[in-house]
Chain A
């Protein structure tokens, strides 16, 4: 029997996602954002989610739509303000969604650490700022650092460009961003991918995320382009 991580539809790939789960959502703005997987979660109606992502969604598409459906109780991100953000500000200003602000590099490193079996690390980022409050400090070579802890998740929702049935992934340009490290840090990584190739068609030298970090794949050939969808006034559902 052959290994095959490709699922036949959205219901199958999302079947194990549960209420109260912590989900890492890849992407930097719209680049690399797994919009179809997020829409699948809206259809499924999964609730009380904690989302770890760089941003907090635009318009009422993708992450913006999931937040708008009140399926998210907390967002952990570096930048929750965006010109096109609608749903997060609405709920945040009413005190109906929680926010943990993390410096972008610390967010990336906490995710990378979790995926690498490193429970915490010291960093100079944030020292002397409000985001250092309550964190352990330590001096190395005369310079002050703060302790940051690894950030794990039950699931990662990721968008990739190309995959094979083993889960080997490549990305497109800056749509790579958080996606590879989120695949490493989550117990289960769910990947929507534009192209699925035969295993011998991806050069091993070009694989960015080796298949060991990926559990399930779904083929989304023509993903929604967020900018266009928002301009066209799309809302989901």
Chain B
């Protein structure tokens, strides 16, 4: 069991840097669903050489940024129930059509947070096993989107690895994650373990392995 003293941790990329790495990997003309919270930052780092169309599972394709105070319409919200805008070329649909976009494999990328990711790509991000269980659209997104990107800190707040041999928390989906963007590295899920695509410039591969509960290779 890996358990690191949080005082000894090397500081990794900040969340804006992680968001910009994800933004760079989203190709022009992709249909993308960004999870509520940290993944929402990704849209701020899309370069001008590409256009991305954002989907919000409550029936909005072509979602724009949050509006000015005087333009707020409480009938125009995102999946986190916050006011948003609709961009030119956007559209509304009902919930079954919106989830057909997800479940029918039409969404190219979704970006979500994680509590645990296993070496085989299992994801746990909806339940700590305590409190009121609430899943929302997470299980649909990981089962349906063509590529599932996870944006996360490499370790939990109390210094435990989030990248694990086997998830201990209730799963959101089995073998669903394609790529992980953590503050320490960008890693792909492969048949032989977590493959390092990019390593934080301040840490070594040995250090990365020491804070990961599962095989790491380059």
Contacts and interface: CB of A to CB of B under 8 A. Distances in A.
Contacts, number: 140
B174 A174 contact: no
A99 B94 contact: no
Interface stretch (A3-11, A44-52, A76-84, A196-204): A76-84
B144 A124 contact: yes
B197 interface: no
B102 A105 contact: yes
Contacts of A86: none
A29 B56 CA distance: 14
Contacts of B135: 78-79, 101-104, 131
Nearest to A81: B134
B21 interface: no
Interface residues of A, number: 49
Interface in B32-67: 56-60
A195 interface: no
A174 B92 contact: yes
A109 B137 contact: no
B73 interface: yes
Interface stretch (A59-67, A134-142, A178-186): A178-186
B208 interface: no
Contacts of A108: 94-96, 98-99
A127 B132 contact: no
Contacts of B139: 103, 105-106, 125-126, 129, 131
25 contacts: A30-B81, A81-B131, A81-B132, A101-B135, A103-B138, A104-B99, A104-B137, A105-B144, A108-B94, A108-B99, A112-B96, A125-B140, A125-B144, A126-B139, A127-B174, A128-B175, A129-B170, A129-B171, A130-B170, A173-B60, A174-B75, A174-B76, A175-B75, A181-B95, A227-B74
Interface of B: 56-60, 73-77, 81, 86, 92-96, 98-99, 102-103, 122, 127, 131-140, 143-144, 170-175
